[in-house]
Amino acid sequence: MGAPLLSVLLVSWNTREQTRQCLESLAATADPDLEYEVVAVDNGSSDGSADMLADQPRVRLIRNHHNTGFAAAVNQAYRRANGELILLLNSDVRFHPGALNRMVGHLRERPDVAGVSPLYLNPDGTFQQHYVQQPNFAATIALVTALRRLPVFRQALHRFQMRGADFSRPRRLASGSCMLLRRSVLGQQTIFDETFPVYWNDAILARQLDQAGHELWMIPDAVVTHSRGASCRLLGPTIRYRHLLGSLVGYLRVTQPRHRLALFRAALLGDHLVKRLFGRSVQLGLGDLLAALRGDVGPLPDGDTRDWVVLFSRTRWSVDAHSAVLGQLTPRQRLLFVDPPGRRPRWRCALTPIGSTAWHAVVPTALPLGDIVPLVNWINRRIAAGVLRGWLDRHAGARLLRLDDERARPVLGRLGEDEVLPAAATRPMERSGRG
């Protein structure tokens, strides 16, 4: 049998069930006459994704022993692909009937078009704006600072986000989450620039294709559902934001003169210092921020990437007393239980694993009588949150904050949490689901 018309490039990292659903939707909706292969790269998943992929029909699996990043894995898959058409596909995409066939048909009918992307819907069926735009300088500053509140920056950000744009007709747009490309417009060995391991690699690709005179289109009659950020969420907020910001600095190096890059760095540093001065939460510590502003995105995590459920309670840890909390965890979650501040000061911070699903944190108590005096409790809780954030910044995983003690509210926003769970939840804890 000859080479297939289509090669699907799929990168997997700890999204086993979403990857399965993606492949099932692909098989169920593709035209029976469409010859395609799936070249999947598993980036060292710990959730059984690789074994699941190995059992799938049409899938040629590449197992990586560690997380190489999205861009490198796509390039790895591309070098094994045989198709004339190349589909870049995120594992959190599900095809609606006819979507892939319409994308393939569009390229067959329009030889002048280099690539095509579908219309995206959120899991709840609402429209999702998920297309690559080339931001101007003001928009890049608005993306990552509080200057977005000023009219000139807010307007630039809204233009970049395409607020109010019409997506009911075909438009010249691209999206790396689900993009069908002609192999003839791509390089021989690589698709993405690997100096952008997670973020902004699709913007660089779209810019390169545009400069070469190639058109990329979005067609609204090809529809997919996109969960958005399924793998990126697992990085945890600090690792995720450092990659986002560091890659944005790399993008500015490519697209802007040096003096604008210097202005961008100054704006970020000023934003950080003002927020710290007024006690506002910041997304990175100063060390990580300075590294990101140099374009250093830092390492990608391996190993355990389960979500952290961080529980601030009014009672101290007891296995017997809190067995019900452990029973509420899903397989993709682990618990960080935080003891309340003590009556007497203590300076030692101890974090101890309890089996494979829980950690127990005894954090410093800076001031005495925090369990009685509200202001002292506020100070102690803020200090505790800062200590825990430093520890969590070194451990991958989304952060889901749960407060079983109303006096713990001063920690809100101090952990860089992705979500705040209902207090005293009686149902299993769930989180809402690269892209």
State CA 302 to chain mean position distance: 15
User: How confident is the model over 315-339, as pLDDT tens digits?
Assistant: 888 766 677 788 888 888 999 999 8
- Residue numbers of the chain with a pLDDT score lower than 50: 425-435
Domain residue ranges in the chain? 6-132+173-230, 233-293, 307-421
pLDDT confidence of residue 42: 96
Which burial class, exposed, middle or buried, applies to 338 when counting CB atoms under 10 A from its CB (0-12, 13-18, 19+)? Answer: buried
pTM (global) more than 0.85:
yes
User: How confident is the model over 231-247, as pLDDT tens digits?
Assistant: 888 888 899 999 999 99
pLDDT confidence of residue 324: 79
Q: Please tell me the CATH code under which domain 307-421 is placed.
A: 3.40.50.2000
pLDDT confidence of residue 281: 82
Pairing of strands 59-64, 36-43: parallel
The CATH number of 6-132+173-230, from 3.30.1330.10, 3.90.1150.60, 3.20.190.10, 3.90.550.10, is: 3.90.550.10
pLDDT confidence of residue 426: 34
